[in-house]
Amino acid sequence: MLQVDGLNPEPEKIKEAADVLRQGGTVAFPTETVYGLGANACDTLAVEAIFEAKGRPSDNPLIVHISDLAQLDAFAPAYGESEKLLMERFWPGPLTLVLPLLAGTLSDRVTAGLDTVAVRMPSHPVALALIAAAGCPIAAPSANSSGRPSPTEAAHVLDDLDGRIDAVADGGPSGVGLESTVIEVEAAGTVRILRPGGITAESMREAGLQVEYDQAAAPQQSGWDAGAERFSRGTEGTGPDKPGSGWAPRSPGMKYAHYAPRGTMQLVEGEIDNIVSFVNDQVKDAQARGECTGVLAFHEHAAGFEADHVLVIGSLAHLEQAAQGLYAALRAFDSLGVDRIWAQTCPEAGIGHALMNRLAKAAAHRIIRL
Residues that bind ligand TXA in the complex, under the rule CB under 6 A: 31, 33-34, 36, 60-63, 94, 96, 98, 111, 114, 116-118, 122, 140-142, 179-180, 182, 194-195, 250-254
Residue with the CB atom nearest ligand TXA in the bound state: 253
Contact 72, 66 (CB under 8 A): yes
Q: Which is nearer to ligand TXA, 143 or 295 (CB)?
A: 143
Q: Which is nearer to ligand TXA, 118 or 218 (CB)?
A: 118
Q: What is the CA radius of gyration of the chain?
A: 20
Q: Please state the closest distance from residue 135 (CB atom) to ligand TXA, in A.
A: 19
Kindly state the number of chain residues that form the binding site for Mg ion, as judged by CB under 5 A: 1
- Distance of alpha carbon 61 from alpha carbon 64, whole angstroms: 10
Q: Which is nearer to Mg ion, 110 or 297 (CB)?
A: 110
Q: Please state the closest distance from residue 57 (CB atom) to ligand TXA, in A.
A: 10
Q: In the beta sheet, which residues pair with residue 40?
A: 138
Q: Please state the closest distance from residue 338 (CB atom) to ligand TXA, in A.
A: 24
Has 142 been labeled as part of a binding site? yes
Has 164 been labeled as part of a binding site? no
Q: Which is nearer to ligand TXA, 98 or 209 (CB)?
A: 98
Q: Please state the closest distance from residue 145 (CB atom) to Mg ion, in A.
A: 10
Has 33 been labeled as part of a binding site? yes
Helix (H), strand (E), coil (C) string for 233-246:
CCCCCCCCCCCCCC
Q: Which is nearer to Mg ion, 36 or 294 (CB)?
A: 36
Q: Which is nearer to ligand TXA, 132 or 302 (CB)?
A: 132
Q: Please state the closest distance from residue 147 (CB atom) to ligand TXA, in A.
A: 11
Contact 263, 334 (CB under 8 A): yes
Has 65 been labeled as part of a binding site? yes
Has 140 been labeled as part of a binding site? yes
- Distance of alpha carbon 283 from alpha carbon 305, whole angstroms: 9
Helices 319-335 & 352-362 angle (0-180, nearest 10): 20
Edge-to-edge strand ranges of the sheet holding 210-213: 2-3, 167-170, 27-29, 36-40, 138-139, 63-65, 116-120, 95-100, 181-187, 190-195, 210-213
Residue with the CB atom nearest Mg ion in the bound state: 142
Helices 154-161 & 319-335 angle (0-180, nearest 10): 30
128 binds, among Mg ion, ligand TXA, none (CB under 5 to 8 A by kind): none
Number of Cβ within 10 Å of residue 160's Cβ equals 25
Is 146 a binder of Mg ion (CB under 5 A)?
Answer: no
Q: Residue 332, class by beta-carbon neighbours within 10 Å (0-12 exposed, 13-18 middle, 19+ buried)?
A: middle
Q: Please state the closest distance from residue 184 (CB atom) to ligand TXA, in A.
A: 7
**Helix, strand, coil shares, percent, the chain, to 5:** 35, 20, 45
Is 251 a binder of Mg ion (CB under 5 A)?
Answer: no
Has 233 been labeled as part of a binding site? no
Q: Please state the closest distance from residue 74 (CB atom) to ligand TXA, in A.
A: 17
Q: Which is nearer to Mg ion, 142 or 282 (CB)?
A: 142
Is 142 a binder of Mg ion (CB under 5 A)?
Answer: yes
Contact 138, 124 (CB under 8 A): no
Helices 125-134 & 11-22 angle (0-180, nearest 10): 50
**Binding-site positions:** 33, 56, 60, 65, 116, 120, 140, 142, 150, 180, 195, 259
Residues that bind Mg ion (CB under 5 A): 142
Write out the binding residues for ATP.
56, 60, 116, 150, 195, 259
